[in-house]
Structure 1
């Protein structure tokens, strides 16, 4: 039905059109099960909105280094702020990218002995000083991305044969959302090719807006498949939370980014997860024919998938942002060092 060496394109306008919705849902169900990555067009964002977020992403990374460092993620126990090149780790190796992490603007929750550590995921962002336009543009993009993501999650539920609102209690009231503006500088050496290492996302869904440079690859049947630029399209992929909710009927996909060689690459990635206080995500009551195909979740024994999605999300942050972990969570940092043979001690 589809060429697995070329990602298909889904048009969200078919979902919004009641007469064509069944066509969209049939396509989505097949792609979600068999490929897990696809392009999404017809999402309702015009060219002006897309150009705006791309423009401000470029402007942010063009700031003086001292201005970016002033809002370093190492200031934030909530993992919000700017990360320098090689400051984040994937598969125990540094990623050759710089980025800023932004989430919902909420008050922090004081860490006390009776609260789980993942409550620290909630907190304020760090914004460049004296640049209100940047904040306005980014927060508008967060709002746009949340709308599209919730509509798409509703479509996923209908495609799986369950009620479209079955996850609403987890995603409508302050979902745990994260936005990354990312810059991959061009690398002259082939030895520095890990823009971001092979991984699965921990969230429900990811919406990625990329540029023309390329470098994103998805693993399909043990072959790395390029995901080139498609104008005005989001690249959508399934995260581990949706794998948990379907008991493995849907599987989170492994992907990576190869560092560009001739031109810098920029990307905007939005991740949506359940509200951190909503508890464990239930396993969906899939129709019998789908349930028979649900083989349980897959998990890396060195990085096991946890049932509590907030805990899973926090674990991912702690392992990826080593300097933040060392500064704010020293006991966890020591345990990570024991697990990995003092891999991080040089930090």
Structure 2
């Protein structure tokens, strides 16, 4: 196992506030990082002092609530896959993930009934919030807004890195992009139990921005170096979020950009881990066309990984729905029996 101080650290303010030479250097480094491993640390998000601490404290307060309070907003109540799930309720690669979590999306109403003809349209809808902790809504939605702004800037930098106009992705993410935040608690596991906090997977969206608290556990599959692929530890670094690319970008670039396989190993017994994962995808109805890469980049495209357990499709809603159906069988049985 490698502990990777080798993962790059990029400063977004070099792109948003830097001189032209800093912007160009950021884009060039982003291009190589996104092509080779697809994982990096990001600083320079302009987070106000205390916002991360407030988010972490509020998240811990949520997981400390009585079980009845959390069960009252269980995801099984929501056709939109919003709400609480207990440790073991979500499945990755056929095995139960040992994490409890709260799934939150953008605060939007239901899809217009007259036009809601496709199953993926059911993904849009209201969140569920615990009545006994009203601060959770304010704090998590503020964090989601903060990261949405950063993600939009990162997408503009990625467009330039791919030889496209800076606004290449703007239209697909305009208005109502698909936002998804997971507030996650990984309880410790006793020796001899499964170490799967969350199993090996790729993210199905476009970009992931992950806030880690203080406990390690995230691992990335490094495939670029000599020899066999190896798992690399991605320890928490104060003042950063961890960025990884989702399947959408791998599809659009025919594998020039890498949606990297990763997992979380459960902490030891008596130790817990907290993280907040934010995902952004285009609007649900968007089906993106492949990007016409410059010849020099196209020559380095590796093709899209073929995984029979996880076929990738370029349509946002369909791609996201297939992952939710597989991961949350209780919601699938209750609200999507027509797709069985």
- TM-score, length basis structure 2: 0.93
Q: 2:280 aligns with which of 272, 278, 291?
A: 272
Q: SS where residue 169 of structure 1 aligns?
A: coil
Partners of 1:89 and 1:111 in 2: CA distance: 31
1:6-61 CA-to-partner distances (Å, cap 9, x unmatched) read: 21111112112023111111111110111110000111113311111111111110
Matched, 1:154 2:156: yes
* Conservation of the 8 A alpha-carbon contact between 1:281 and 1:308: yes
- TM-score, length basis structure 1: 0.91
Matched, 1:18 2:19: yes
Aligned to 1:307: 314
More displaced, 32-41 or 45-54?
45-54
Aligned to 1:9: 9
Aligned to 1:228: 235
The alignment's C-alpha RMSD in Å is 1.7
Aligned to 1:289: 296
Q: 1:91 aligns with which of 90, 93, 96?
A: 93
Aligned to 1:170: 172
Partners of 1:300 and 1:226 in 2: CA distance: 24
Deviation at 1:302, TM superposition (A): 2.4
Partners of 2:176 and 2:248 in 1: CA distance: 17
Partners of 1:263 and 1:145 in 2: CA distance: 28
More displaced, 211-220 or 42-51?
42-51
Deviation at 1:114, TM superposition (A): 6.9
1:280-301 CA-to-partner distances (Å, cap 9, x unmatched) read: 1111121111112223311211
Q: SS where residue 250 of structure 1 aligns?
A: coil
Matched, 1:298 2:300: no
Partners of 1:8 and 1:64 in 2: CA distance: 40
More displaced, 196-205 or 130-139?
130-139
1:270-316 CA-to-partner distances (Å, cap 9, x unmatched) read: 000010122x1111121111112223311211221112121010000
Matched, 1:201 2:209: no
More displaced, 106-115 or 305-314?
106-115
- Pairwise mapping of residues 1-347 of structure 1 onto structure 2 (< 5 A)? 6-16=6-16, 17-19=18-20, 20-109=22-111, 115-221=117-223, 222-261=229-268, 262-278=270-286, 280-332=287-339, 335=340
